[in-house]
Structure 1
Amino acid sequence: MKIKSKENICQELVFKHVYNTHNKDLNNYLYYKYGGQYNPNDKVQEAFIQLWNNCKKVTLTKAKAFLFKVANNLMLNEIKHQKVVLKYQQINHKQHNYETPEFILEKDQYLECYKKALEKLSKEQRVAFLLNKVEEKKHSEIADMLGVTKKVVEYRIYSAFKILKTELENFSIK
């Protein structure tokens, strides 16, 4: 098909001819220049969309230059964007701590007291208590895991609470 240089790109057949003529060359140009990591095929498609949107302004003789310029600019914009993303990822995002030093000290002291109180529990009490309060297991599940009855588990947890309550008398336990 022979296209005259004065024909309008907005005509479907003319645009199709421009697309078929320059699509592969433009894709190869972007791929060879920038590699496949920035999706050159997507940029080629975007360039043709921009050509279609500006078909009344672009003549047939300038279509190739328009496509290559637009596609190259799209690729450069993508590279700039990826640099910004990379720079943002490298920034150490500081976590702000609004807790007072006194609160942090009290929390650390409580944690130490709690650990010491847990050490005073028997192994059976500690296991039953931690499975119930930390792992959020039900009494029947704990009984199945330990191979004891539900009543034994309830007693172990109750006695663990009793010991913890006396050891941590300054703290409220729920």
Structure 2
Amino acid sequence: MTVHGSTATRSENLRVLDRACLIVRQHITSTYPPGAALPSTKQLALALGLPQKHVLQGLLRLNGLGEIALHTGNGPIRLRIREPHPRDRALQGAVRDRIRAGHYQPGQALPTGLLGEEFGLLPHHVQRALRFLTAEGALRYEERGAYGPGHYVPATLAEGVS
């Protein structure tokens, strides 16, 4: 197999996976109301006629986006709009508390790697949690921040932090 052939195969596999993820998302958002429990991966795969591994990848993407919550102890659930992911709440509360206490100063970049380590979250889950805080105004995201792209404490603290 040539390098060109393997690149084409990988690209095709990604397209198939992207399509499967879209199907999973459409099914969940049209079938299950916010707050509803979701069926198992196996049950979803049977209902959608997709391989379980593709359904699982779709669920993992939706989990990463904060649209559903996997591994909640009670099975997966569809989250409500603006509902924080259950695994992010401890990090979000700690960041708010640290801003209020002056541990994080206005204009300071958050140490996302350290926060992920402290709370046992993968980098994309830290980003999911911080996106939520950014949406409520407790943080801001700067592409060209003083310390590079990242989440920063606003110069004037938002109401959501108090």
Please indicate, yes or no, whether the TM-score normalized by the shorter chain is above 0.5. no
| TM score, norm. by length of structure 2 | 0.23
Computing the radius of gyration from Cα coordinates, the structure with the larger value is 1
Q: Determine which structure has the larger helix proportion and give its number.
A: 1
TM-score (normalised: structure 1): 0.21
